[in-house]
Amino acid sequence: METREFLLAARLEAGALEAWIEEGWLAPRRNSGGERFSEVDLARAQLIRDLEELGVNDEGIPVILDLIDQLHGLRRTLRELLSTIHAQPEAIKRRMLSDIRAESRTRGQT
């Protein structure tokens, strides 16, 4: 979506949007026609607004955004790992499960 549409959807002032982009809190795609925003950008802007309304200061917002980004990255990695495991032959899946359980027991003892 274009900047004007984004500002309306996110209920943001242009100055706030510029500041958030400058801070790196939002990273729209840029092309010859200007900035383009995605649904993810919109959700992120709404989250930032909610955090501000909850009283999170400007120093806390990037910390929270970074933690959320890490969580999403870990979830993506876990989905890829599970997909790879599911594609394996049954004997290999059983062996992997056995190894995971053994490792879990070992870690639980230390």
Span 26-76, pLDDT tens digits = 999 998 878 999 999 999 999 999 999 999 999 999 999 999 999 999 999
| Beta-ladder partners of 65 | none
Q: Which amino acid would we find at residue 104?
A: S
Closest CA to 33 of 55, 9, 5, 60: 5
| The two three-digit tokens of residue 106, written as one number | 């070992």
The answer to whether 28 touches 37, Cβ cutoff 8 Å, is yes
* pLDDT over 90 (residue 8): yes
The answer to whether 44 touches 37, Cβ cutoff 8 Å, is no
Instruction: With cut-offs at 50, 70 and 90, classify the pLDDT of residue 17.
Output: very high
Kindly report the average pLDDT of the chain as a whole number.
94
Q: pTM (2 decimals)? A: 0.76
Supply the pLDDT for residue 33.
79
